[in-house]
């Protein structure tokens, strides 16, 4: 059994296979998953696991280039905390309208569905490179 990193084998697999510029989404419980996009559902009950905990775990293991979030959620405390987490990696946050964010979901490698029930607690993470 793994001692460090992701115990969720699907998250570990997706992170290990992502290339530069590919995107991974961390989503609240209500974000629609487009047909054909892999959904890694980690939701157990409302709020569990929360958006921030899943984001922190992924950020520990992903070279992040850019993050995209919905402008409509800027005032949500969960979203503000996520912005701080992302910016602490040195990556910028770019703001999209929620409909633009939903349109970009089709290009994601996968969507990790959390138990978060805060509106607009969604982020598209664009993979960077270590060199």
| Active site residues per annotation | 20
Give the list of residues 6+ apart from residue 71 with CB closer than 8 angstroms, or none. 95, 96, 97, 98
Closest CA to 59 of 116, 112, 99: 112
Pairing mode, strands 123-127 and 64-70 = antiparallel
Residue 6 CA, distance from chain mean position: 14
The CA distance from 79 to 1, in Å, is: 33
Instruction: Calculate Rg over the CA atoms of the chain.
Output: 13
């Amino acid at each position: 059994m793994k001692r460090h990193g992701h115990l969720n084998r699907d998250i570990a697999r997706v992170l290990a296979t992502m290339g530069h510029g590919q995107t991974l989404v961390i989503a609240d419980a209500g974000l629609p998953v487009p047909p054909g996009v892999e959904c890694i559902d980690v939701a157990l009950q409302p709020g569990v696991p929360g958006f921030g905990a899943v984001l922190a775990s992924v950020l520990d293991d992903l070279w992040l280039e850019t993050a995209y979030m919905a402008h409509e959620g800027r005032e949500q405390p969960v979203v503000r905390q996520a912005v701080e987490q992302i910016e602490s990696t040195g990556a910028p946050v770019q703001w999209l309208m929620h409909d633009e964010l939903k349109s970009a979901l089709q290009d994601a490698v996968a969507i990790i569905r959390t138990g978060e029930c805060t509106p607009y607690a969604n982020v598209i993470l664009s993979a960077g490179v270590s060199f």
